[in-house]
Chain A
Amino acid sequence: MPNLPPGVSRKDFQDAIAQFQTVVGKDWIFTSDEDVELYRDSYSPFWHEPEDPVPSAAVAPDSVEHVQQIVRIAGRYKIPLWTVSTGKNLAYGGSAPRLSGSVLLDLKRMNRILEVNDRNHYALVEPGVSYFDLYRYTQEKGLNVFIDAPDPGWGSPVGNTLDRGGGHTPLRDHFSTLCGLEVVLANGDVVRTGMGALPNARTWQQYKYGFGPYVDGIFTQSNFGIVTKMGVWLLPMPEMRFVGTVAVPKHDDLIPMVDTLSYLMNSNIVQGTTRVNSPVTAQARDPEVVALRAKPGGATIPDLEDYVRRKNLPYWSIDLPFYGPTEVVPAQWAFAKRKFSAIPGVQFRDGATNQLPPSQEDLAKVANPVPLGVPSLAIFSALGPNSHGHIDVSPITPMTGQAVFEVMEVFDKVLREMGIDNVGVVPAGTYYPRSFFFLFTFQIEHDVDKNRKMRAAFRRLVQVGAEHGWGEYRTHLAFMDDVAQTYSFNNHALLRLHETLKDALDPNGILSPGKSGIWPKQMRKARA
């Protein structure tokens, strides 16, 4: 028995389903419990709880014309549609809707690679194309392009870019690589953005802006339209990747170290994702560090500096990735070393060198090939063999050493107070330009009480982060309202603008209700 969309009668629902079926054919409408179950979030923080969202049905179009017809039918019956591309946005909701009872608009069948250009290095793809698909295509055609994939390769360039995901290489800020959208609006109209608005456009994937207001951003992390095509910039295949490690001995060395990193990244000399590492964070498992941190008042900085000195360890280290020509990369590394040499006691170590594209022999030796431009699922090994998935608190902070000290101290304190000791931390990553990105990873459990405790801790970190001026870059369905509420400058002026756009573009409120905390007028709760 389907879980009906809120406010929709059974007859209207059945009529809408019958009409969807005439559009896509009987094989591509899913209404049985068994089929609908497949759309649940595999990494849901609501396992075994009634809040775990379940769609009423799923419909899988094969073309933009199908999508147009579906939204018109949905508008007629006020049926909420929740759109997914490959549906593998795990840790952020997977293929589940925010609103239980929504009909899943599953775009996986729209999986055409319409163009890959290796003279000007871009692609035009549909939403169902995965990074694996795009990589296979470029390999089969022998194209001179390098793909920046997020950690899991089964996601889509469209979905990941629209959710403003990040990767590891020079084009890691995926929204910045977006060049031209085709969007179906809630009334069934089709819009092409940028140069695509020009009939017979010749530069849709080469020039982003077209003429007039630049609107591409409003279709990211939003529910204002359904993207059916997207241009994405790729990188010409670099000749090599090299990683050099810089290590410093003292706690306060992090401040000049990050200032230098910031200079090198903002100068496009260091061009990939990296992170700040330390053997003495609260996540350290060495019994001596654990004991030092457990003593009354916690470990002092001299305690920890003494520990790393005795163990001949750095207090902080950063792996610096370089991409480029074989003549240039060594010069970049030499320049980076010169800049870091201002820090007393700094040490350098040459790390991995890979020629690009990597040979099969090289790939066989690499645990995670994503930084080499090869999509993979290797990241899931980090969860451990018994994991049921994860969700992450991921605040954006300033790229400074002081911010690292403050974030670690503030969040460690919250987690200790809440009795949470199993959070994985990726400190101070550089997925996005000019800022740091932290990742506090909570494991999903199939245990109601543990998940409730985890959700409370998650919400507390979001709130405390916001109080310190650190906002989430993206979040799981379950926390979208919480995060949206933290962006509250001037009595929630931004959310009110989003709602104004929502009401204008989707007056029936049929597109992805609740995405990023944006609800249609009829479902909007009065804000406190």
Chain B
Amino acid sequence: MRRVDIEPHPKPSRDRQGAVHPCRMLALVLVLSASSFSQDSRQSDRGREIYQKWCTPCHGNGLGRPGTAAAAAHGQKPAVLESRTDLSPKMIETAVRQGPNFMPRFRKTEISNADLAAIEAYLVRQ
């Protein structure tokens, strides 16, 4: 699951005049965070769909996945990209736009910057 940073104990205001009550502050933070969570979740869901279309044929689980097989041969554990927790958006962008080893570059008519951001959101979700 995506980790959401919600401040657990909002600080009380300096004075009561015009200050936001801590409970109301918490509610506001939760609403904003929930909205952010929802957006992140949608982005991640979209990223999963794009990932499945463009990346799974090579990096998925099972036989006949050359990206996964190459990662395993290089000692990468886990070899399936979706199971990794060490990926950064920069690493993903570099791979997609530069193509390590036999992976080709992907053009923006294939994977747009917005699609790439969604893939990144999906792969770095944990």
Contacts and interface: CB of A to CB of B under 8 A. Distances in A.
To the question of whether A and B form a pair in one complex, the answer is yes
Interface of A: 28, 30, 35, 37-40, 42-43, 58, 60, 86-88, 90, 94-95, 106, 108-109, 128, 132, 153-154, 364-369, 375-381, 383, 385-389
Interface stretch (B30-38, B40-48, B94-102, B118-126): B94-102
Given A90-B104, A365-B63, A389-B102, A381 B109 contact: no
B105 A376 contact: no
Contacts of B108: 30, 35, 38
Contacts of B74: 385
Contacts of A154: 57
Interface in B7-53: 53
Contacts of B99: 42
Interface of B: 53, 57-58, 62-66, 69-70, 73-74, 97, 99, 101-110
A385 B70 contact: yes
13 contacts: A40-B105, A42-B104, A43-B102, A86-B110, A87-B107, A364-B62, A366-B64, A376-B57, A381-B64, A381-B69, A383-B102, A385-B74, A386-B70
B110 A43 contact: no
A186 B64 CA distance: 42
A388 B101 contact: yes
A161 to B, nearest CB: 20
A254 B65 CA distance: 35
Closest 9 interchain pairs by CB?
A378-B64, A42-B104, A385-B70, A385-B73, A380-B66, A108-B109, A381-B66, A387-B102, A38-B107
Contacts of A375: 57
A320 to B, nearest CB: 22
B102 A367 contact: no
Q: Chain B: interface secondary structure?
A: loop
B107 A380 contact: no
Contacts of B106: 38
A369 B65 CA distance: 11
Contact of A380 (B53, B97, B102, B110): B102
B110 A108 contact: yes
Nearest to B61: A364
A128 B109 CA distance: 10
A366 B74 CA distance: 23
A393 to B, nearest CB: 19
A28 B108 CA distance: 9
Q: Which of A40, A376, A381 counts the most B-chain CB atoms under 10 A from its CB?
A: A381
Contacts of B70: 381, 385-386
A377 B107 contact: no
A447 to B, nearest CB: 14
A377 B56 CA distance: 10
Nearest to B99: A42
B105 to A, nearest CB: 5
A364 B63 contact: yes
Nearest to A370: B64
B69 A385 contact: yes
Contacts of A30: 108
Contacts of A380: 58, 66, 102
A380 B68 CA distance: 11
Contacts of A90: 104
B107 A95 contact: yes
B64 A38 contact: no
A383 B104 CA distance: 13
Given A365-B63, A368-B64, A377-B66, A386 B107 contact: no
A321 to B, nearest CB: 18
Given A367-B64, A381-B65, A385-B73, 4 more contacts: A42-B104, A88-B104, A366-B63, A388-B102
B97 A153 contact: no
Contacts of A86: 110
B99 to A, nearest CB: 5
Contacts of B65: 377-378, 381
A132 B106 CA distance: 16
B9 to A, nearest CB: 45
A150 to B, nearest CB: 14
A364 B69 CA distance: 15
B101 to A, nearest CB: 6
A151 to B, nearest CB: 11
A60 B58 contact: no
Given A365-B63, A366-B63, A367-B64, A377 B57 contact: yes
A154 B109 CA distance: 14
Contact of A42 (B64, B66, B73, B105): B105
A60 B104 contact: no
